[in-house]
Amino acid sequence: MSIPTQFTGYGARTQADGKALNLELISYTPKAWTENDVDIKISHCGICGSDLHVLMDSWPAPTEYSAIVGHEIVGTIVRAGSKSGHVVGTRVGVGAEGGSCLDCSTCERKKEQFCRGMVPTYQGKWEDGSISQGGYADYTRCHGRFAIPIPESISSAEAAPLLCAGVTTYAPLKKFGAGPGKRVGVVGIGGLGPMGAETFALSHSASKIGDAEKLGVKPENFIVTKDGEATVEKWRDSLDLIICTSSHVLPIEEVYFQLLRPEGALCLLGLPEDKLPSFYGQALILKNLSLAGSFIGSTDDIKEMFAMAADKGIKPWIKVRPMSEASQAAKDTENGLARYRFVLEN
């Protein structure tokens, strides 16, 4: 197969385009090839909330335009470097990280997401100075270590959201020991039954209670948080762990800390645009609570998550759309129309 010297994807050329989510075809030259690399012909890419934040330049770190986003990439390796650990023809997925230094103590411990030389799949800087571009595209180039083989039983479209949304949820559940006997609350709908924990959904309204039940949450475990005082009165000291996928203003002290049992933990996964609300240290100390964050997942986490998804039959709720609809699909995601992930397909 002939691999083009220029890759092409749907992206925003300017900040104005990004804020309007007006994406158009953009060609770019990928990073200089090394024998650690693989080239992947992309078949699918999920649309993540992070994509919209970057396109719209709404996070503290400014977006560098032109910007092609997408870090839930699935495709087939069409070129494999001699040090990549891969062969041509393998179906793989690439999540939010496309590269790292590969030889620091963090990388040696397989915690590559914390490497100081970590290269995000898009908006990162490669060793040759080029800017990484994402998966709303025809091809991508990355370090082979971050191209993870996908079990045969998982379809390419369903594998895509697992590469960011899936592993970002899996990693803290593993870290905090979610399993039998634990009561886990999720801010943002999700089904965690296969982890063995009793699952609770926390939502501002009851509009998603039907979906939550289909995802494994008992109706009586659906917690509506609109009236904070009433929520605390009913659910105080009920949960061992809360994982928060929301990036909106959070009632951390007023609600979430109150719902946690002593020695419980609140783990933030969503990246808010603003600073967290302040609170006194007593809110943590008097109940031995932990406030933590969790950043994507390691390559080992992705492999473990894929294995669990294949074994337990875990599948995300998706709608597949043509890659040519990237702009409209991004707008529909911003308007809350995704139930619960749009996946772009070449």
| Three-state SS letters, 291-322 | EEECCCCCHHHHHHHHHHHHHHCCCCCCEEEE
- Residue 196 pLDDT: 53
Lowest mean pLDDT among 131-145, 155-169, 174-188: 174-188
Residue 193: its pLDDT value, please?
43
pLDDT at 191 over 70: no
* For residue 3, pLDDT beyond 60: yes
Pull the structure tokens for residue 143.
């370090």
At 241-284, the pLDDT tens digits run 999 988 777 899 999 999 999 999 999 998 877 889 999 999 99
Contacts of 249 (CB under 8 A, 6+ apart): 272, 274, 277
- What value does the mean pLDDT of the chain take? 94
- Tell me the percentage of the chain whose pLDDT exceeds 70: 98
Which pLDDT score is estimated for 138? 98
Find the mean pLDDT for residues 46-58: 95
pLDDT at 192: 40
Per-residue confidence band for 154, with pLDDT thresholds at 50, 70 and 90: very high
**Amino acid 204: pLDDT:** 86
Q: What is the mean pLDDT of residues 100-121?
A: 95
The residue with tokens 């330049």 is 57
294 with 168: CB under 8 angstroms?
A: yes
Whether the per-residue pLDDT at 174 is higher than 90: the answer is: yes
Residue scoring higher pLDDT (274 or 170): 170
Q: For the residues 155-172, what does the mean pLDDT come to?
A: 95
Quick one: average pLDDT of 27-31? 98
Tens digits of residue pLDDT in 75-86: 999 999 999 999
Q: Which residues contact 207 (CB under 8 A, 6 or more apart)?
A: none
Average pLDDT over residues 13-26: 98
**143 has pLDDT over 60:** yes
Mean pLDDT of 131-155: 98
| Rounded-to-integer distance, Cα 240 and Cα 186, Å | 11
Model pLDDT, residue 194: 43
Percent pLDDT > 90 in the chain is 83
- Amino acid 132: pLDDT: 98
